[in-house]
Chains A and B, each alone.
Chain A
Amino acid sequence: MPPKKNKKKREEGPTVTIDFEFKKLVEKVVDGTLVNYCYQCGACVGDCPSARYVEGFNPREIMLKVLYGFGEELVGPASPAWQCTNCYNCYERCPQNVKPVEIIIAVKNLMAQRGIYPAKAQVGDLVNTVLETGRTAPVTAMTTKLREELGLAPLEAIDTAELKKILE
């Protein structure tokens, strides 16, 4: 008897249209190309604190969305990227050296380019403060008082001319 042909018809599922353009934008950011090595194993999810505390947050799914090119879901106003704690557990666990957290940061860079970061995260404010003062936190009267009490020299203003030039 001839062997039975295993010719089961593939079930029809939803069609996904892959858009490579978004991935190309991510790839332009430092380490952005690493997303290509994601094989969706999910090792990045187990120790992810945001996955534990925020319903629907999942670094593996974020990688999949980058690979599929679902850019609008990632860089829109409801982007999940800001929920990431930046703990680097996923980076530590990923067997493919995808550095998932770096891909999430790359997505944030794309948002910054378009000016869509949440006001509450104060990304733009912080960068401006660094450009203007050389520090993330402004020196206050309290700073001076505490330093004096501890026998520390007062903090001098930082010359930011060089910073401005290298960031032009």
Chain B
Amino acid sequence: MANENQKKFAFFPGCLIPVRYPQMEAAIRKTLPKLGVDVVDLAGFTCCPDPIYFKSYDKTAWLAVAARNLAVAEEAGLNVFTICSGCTATLSETYQQLNTNKKLKDEINMRLARVGKEYKGTATIRHVATLIRDEVGIEAVAASVVRPLEGLKVAIHYGCHLLKPSHVMRVDDPDDPHILDDLVAELGATPVRHEEWILCCGKACKHEEAPPAMMYDLLKSVAAVEADVLGVVCPSCFNEFDLGQVRLARQYDDETLKTPAVYYFQLLGLAQGLTLEEVGLHRHKVRAPALEKYSAAAV
């Protein structure tokens, strides 16, 4: 697929998506080349590592593992793109911390020296949404669409880690983001904001007190806008809105909780002419009947 006009980026797949939600990885691999991105796989990446539990265990160790991953991309001379908000958070914070704190960087590099690696701070990190907006140009999305998703109403949940801390993530205004709305609009679909759009999915504290009531408020707010699907870019949010929503609907005996969660790039795949099966939508716990007519439409 690669040609000279395509921009090369190192693909950092993370572990949750390839292992648990490979439909998201498939959607990325099948859609990005049509936007002019050459998805380059590098050997040697590990878990980012996870910004919740691993970081809770030992922040310095967490930075060291992340710096090792970035060093792998540096050796290949490529900038990195991520497809999970958690990976984006880990790698972006590592970049920001180590590139502004020489002492910390030296400390981390002492650990990396044990395996012959060095973190230099030269590879930048981009979430795939900003990769499209800033490196490719968002117009490329509409240009790749062969089957506009006209009439499709997409409620959007940004999730926490894509946007915050905003000065580290540098993705969008955390109080009034629009990057995902814009990407949805490029498909011919209609983005809608739900009232509790800023609320957390609760994945990081799922065994504690807050999640059930918090998630119930969140998903009720999604149901209230009567969207066809709930668009997300984060595998953790996805899990809470897919399997989590089925459980919650049972727990609260509320059958209105049924807005199907979809990963943005699955929608892009449909709009580019792929079928529901090719982007793995038929595997979701909450099915999306509204998408069937697009999948069936001739290209």
- Among A20-65, those with CB < 8 Å from B are 29-31, 47, 49-50, 52-54
**Is B160 a contact of A136 with CB atoms below 8 Å?**
no
B166: A residues at CB distance < 8 A? 92
Return the contact of A117 from the options B23, B56, B114, B198 (Cβ within 8 A).
Answer: B56
B278: A residues at CB distance < 8 A? 150-151
Interface residues on B, range: 35 or more
| Distance A135 CA – B205 CA, assembled complex (angstroms) | 20
Q: B283 near A: Cβ within 8 Å? A: yes
| Distance A30 CA – B202 CA, assembled complex (angstroms) | 25
**Is B47 a contact of A136 with CB atoms below 8 Å?**
yes
Interface residues on A, range: 35 or more
Q: B53 near A: Cβ within 8 Å? A: yes
Mask for B1-42, Cβ within 8 A of A = 1, else 0? Answer: 000000000000001101110110110010000000000000
**Is A112 a contact of B58 with CB atoms below 8 Å?**
yes
**Is B57 a contact of A49 with CB atoms below 8 Å?**
no
B25: A residues at CB distance < 8 A? 150, 152
Q: Which of B178-186, B207-215, B247-255 contacts A (4 or more CB under 8 A)?
A: B207-215
Return the contact of A92 from the options B64, B164, B214 (Cβ within 8 A).
Answer: B164
**Is B22 a contact of A146 with CB atoms below 8 Å?**
yes
**Is B46 a contact of A86 with CB atoms below 8 Å?**
no
Closest chain B CB from A31 CB (angstroms): 8
**Is A92 a contact of B204 with CB atoms below 8 Å?**
no
B104: A residues at CB distance < 8 A? 30
**Is B165 a contact of A92 with CB atoms below 8 Å?**
yes
Return the contact of A30 from the options B51, B97, B174, B283 (Cβ within 8 A).
Answer: B97
**Is A53 a contact of B213 with CB atoms below 8 Å?**
yes
- Among B52-103, those with CB < 8 Å from A are 52-61, 63-65, 68, 97
- Enumerate chain A interface residues (CB-CB to B < 8 A): 29-31, 47, 49-50, 52-54, 82-89, 91-92, 99, 105-106, 108-109, 112, 117-118, 120-124, 126-127, 130, 134-140, 143, 146-147, 149-152, 155, 158, 160-163, 165-168
- Enumerate chain B interface residues (CB-CB to A < 8 A): 15-16, 18-20, 22-23, 25-26, 29, 46-47, 49-61, 63-65, 68, 97, 104, 111-112, 114-115, 117, 160-161, 164-166, 174, 198-200, 202, 204-205, 207-210, 213-214, 277-278, 280, 283
